[in-house]
Amino acid sequence: MEINQSNQHFGALFNKSTDLENIITDSMKKGKFKKIKEAKRNIGKQDPSVRLSVNLFYHNEHGINYPAIIFSRFEPKNGIKIPKSQKDYNLTGITEYIADKEMDILTYGRRMIAKLGHEAPKNKMYKQVVKYHDPNFQEPKYDIFG
Protein backbone atom coordinates (compact mmCIF):
# COMPACT_ATOMS: atom_id res chain seq x y z
CA MET A 1 0.00 0.00 0.00
CA GLU A 2 2.75 2.42 0.88
CA ILE A 3 4.25 2.13 -2.61
CA ASN A 4 0.96 2.97 -4.33
CA GLN A 5 0.50 5.98 -2.08
CA SER A 6 3.98 7.18 -2.96
CA ASN A 7 3.30 6.80 -6.68
CA GLN A 8 0.11 8.83 -6.40
CA HIS A 9 2.04 11.52 -4.55
CA PHE A 10 4.68 11.55 -7.29
CA GLY A 11 1.97 11.88 -9.91
CA ALA A 12 1.74 15.57 -9.13
CA LEU A 13 5.07 16.19 -10.89
CA PHE A 14 6.06 12.98 -12.66
CA ASN A 15 3.82 11.10 -15.06
CA LYS A 16 3.19 7.63 -13.70
CA SER A 17 5.19 4.94 -15.45
CA THR A 18 6.42 1.43 -14.77
CA ASP A 19 10.01 2.68 -14.74
CA LEU A 20 9.24 5.34 -12.14
CA GLU A 21 7.29 2.83 -10.06
CA ASN A 22 10.26 0.44 -10.17
CA ILE A 23 12.68 3.20 -9.14
CA ILE A 24 10.44 4.16 -6.20
CA THR A 25 10.00 0.54 -5.09
CA ASP A 26 13.74 -0.11 -5.28
CA SER A 27 14.49 3.14 -3.44
CA MET A 28 12.12 2.24 -0.64
CA LYS A 29 13.66 -1.22 -0.29
CA LYS A 30 17.14 0.31 -0.05
CA GLY A 31 16.13 3.17 2.27
CA LYS A 32 16.89 5.82 -0.37
CA PHE A 33 13.36 7.13 -0.99
CA LYS A 34 14.03 10.32 0.98
CA LYS A 35 16.47 11.54 -1.70
CA ILE A 36 13.90 11.10 -4.45
CA LYS A 37 11.19 12.76 -2.38
CA GLU A 38 13.48 15.76 -1.72
CA ALA A 39 14.30 16.01 -5.43
CA LYS A 40 10.61 15.99 -6.33
CA ARG A 41 9.89 18.71 -3.78
CA ASN A 42 12.75 20.91 -5.05
CA ILE A 43 11.66 20.58 -8.68
CA GLY A 44 7.97 21.06 -7.89
CA LYS A 45 8.61 24.29 -5.98
CA GLN A 46 10.32 25.86 -8.97
CA ASP A 47 8.08 24.77 -11.84
CA PRO A 48 4.72 23.45 -10.62
CA SER A 49 3.15 23.35 -14.11
CA VAL A 50 5.86 21.20 -15.72
CA ARG A 51 5.39 17.42 -15.81
CA LEU A 52 8.18 14.93 -16.42
CA SER A 53 8.20 11.36 -17.68
CA VAL A 54 11.01 8.97 -16.82
CA ASN A 55 12.02 6.11 -19.10
CA LEU A 56 14.91 3.73 -18.46
CA PHE A 57 16.71 1.62 -21.05
CA TYR A 58 20.10 0.11 -21.79
CA HIS A 59 22.43 1.73 -24.30
CA ASN A 60 24.64 -0.89 -25.92
CA GLU A 61 28.08 0.34 -26.82
CA HIS A 62 30.77 -2.11 -27.97
CA GLY A 63 28.84 -5.01 -26.45
CA ILE A 64 28.49 -3.34 -23.04
CA ASN A 65 25.06 -2.34 -21.74
CA TYR A 66 25.15 1.04 -20.02
CA PRO A 67 22.03 2.20 -18.18
CA ALA A 68 20.35 5.26 -19.65
CA ILE A 69 17.43 7.51 -18.79
CA ILE A 70 15.18 9.77 -20.81
CA PHE A 71 13.43 12.71 -19.17
CA SER A 72 10.53 13.98 -21.26
CA ARG A 73 9.19 17.43 -20.38
CA PHE A 74 5.52 18.30 -20.78
CA GLU A 75 4.04 21.78 -20.41
CA PRO A 76 0.43 22.96 -20.51
CA LYS A 77 -0.91 23.72 -23.97
CA ASN A 78 -1.37 27.38 -24.84
CA GLY A 79 -4.51 28.82 -23.30
CA ILE A 80 -4.82 26.13 -20.62
CA LYS A 81 -4.21 27.64 -17.20
CA ILE A 82 -5.12 24.61 -15.07
CA PRO A 83 -4.46 21.30 -16.88
CA LYS A 84 -6.83 18.53 -15.85
CA SER A 85 -5.39 15.58 -17.78
CA GLN A 86 -2.38 14.52 -19.82
CA LYS A 87 -4.25 15.66 -22.95
CA ASP A 88 -3.85 19.24 -21.73
CA TYR A 89 -0.04 19.01 -22.08
CA ASN A 90 2.39 19.20 -24.99
CA LEU A 91 5.70 17.37 -25.16
CA THR A 92 8.23 20.21 -25.13
CA GLY A 93 11.57 18.52 -24.59
CA ILE A 94 13.47 15.24 -24.40
CA THR A 95 16.79 14.89 -22.58
CA GLU A 96 18.78 11.66 -22.52
CA TYR A 97 21.59 10.68 -20.16
CA ILE A 98 23.79 7.57 -20.50
CA ALA A 99 25.92 6.22 -17.65
CA ASP A 100 29.65 6.10 -18.17
CA LYS A 101 29.94 2.68 -16.49
CA GLU A 102 27.91 -0.46 -15.98
CA MET A 103 25.60 -0.37 -12.96
CA ASP A 104 22.14 -1.35 -11.83
CA ILE A 105 19.59 0.50 -13.96
CA LEU A 106 17.29 1.33 -11.02
CA THR A 107 20.20 2.73 -9.01
CA TYR A 108 21.13 4.87 -12.00
CA GLY A 109 17.55 6.10 -12.35
CA ARG A 110 17.36 7.00 -8.66
CA ARG A 111 20.67 8.84 -8.77
CA MET A 112 19.66 10.82 -11.85
CA ILE A 113 16.32 11.89 -10.32
CA ALA A 114 18.11 12.89 -7.12
CA LYS A 115 20.71 14.81 -9.13
CA LEU A 116 18.00 16.56 -11.13
CA GLY A 117 16.41 17.92 -7.96
CA HIS A 118 19.59 18.67 -6.02
CA GLU A 119 19.82 22.43 -5.44
CA ALA A 120 17.21 23.07 -8.14
CA PRO A 121 16.97 25.43 -9.99
CA LYS A 122 20.69 26.22 -9.86
CA ASN A 123 22.14 22.95 -11.12
CA LYS A 124 23.03 22.36 -14.76
CA MET A 125 20.98 19.21 -15.17
CA TYR A 126 17.83 20.95 -13.92
CA LYS A 127 18.38 23.74 -16.41
CA GLN A 128 18.77 21.24 -19.27
CA VAL A 129 15.77 19.06 -18.41
CA VAL A 130 13.21 21.44 -16.91
CA LYS A 131 14.11 24.96 -17.99
CA TYR A 132 15.74 24.83 -21.43
CA HIS A 133 13.36 25.55 -24.30
CA ASP A 134 14.62 24.69 -27.76
CA PRO A 135 12.67 26.93 -30.16
CA ASN A 136 13.19 24.33 -32.90
CA PHE A 137 11.95 21.34 -30.87
CA GLN A 138 9.41 19.24 -32.73
CA GLU A 139 7.56 16.33 -31.23
CA PRO A 140 8.83 13.08 -32.78
CA LYS A 141 6.54 11.55 -35.39
CA TYR A 142 7.28 8.08 -33.97
CA ASP A 143 6.83 6.53 -30.55
CA ILE A 144 10.03 7.38 -28.69
CA PHE A 145 9.24 4.85 -25.97
CA GLY A 146 8.18 1.94 -28.13
Q: What is the pLDDT of residue 6?
A: 37
Q: What is the pLDDT of residue 119?
A: 85
Q: What is the pLDDT of residue 84?
A: 83
**Would you call 132 helix, strand, or coil by DSSP?**
coil
What residues have CB less than 8 Å from 17, skipping those under 6 apart?
53, 54, 55
Q: What is the pLDDT of residue 18?
A: 92
Q: What is the chain's pLDDT, residue by residue, as a tens digit (146 residues)? A: 233 333 333 445 888 889 999 999 999 999 999 988 888 888 888 778 888 999 999 999 989 999 999 999 998 998 888 888 888 888 999 999 999 999 999 999 999 999 998 888 888 998 899 887 777 777 766 554 44
Long-range contacts for 73-76 (Cβ within 8 Å, ≥24 apart)? 73/129, 73/130, 74/15, 74/50, 75/49, 75/50, 75/51, 76/49
Q: Is the dihedral of CA 108, 109, 114, 117 positive or negative?
A: positive
Q: What is the pLDDT of residue 146?
A: 47
pTM of the predicted model, to two decimals?
0.82
Q: What is the pLDDT of residue 58?
A: 95
For the chain, the structural domain boundaries read 2-131
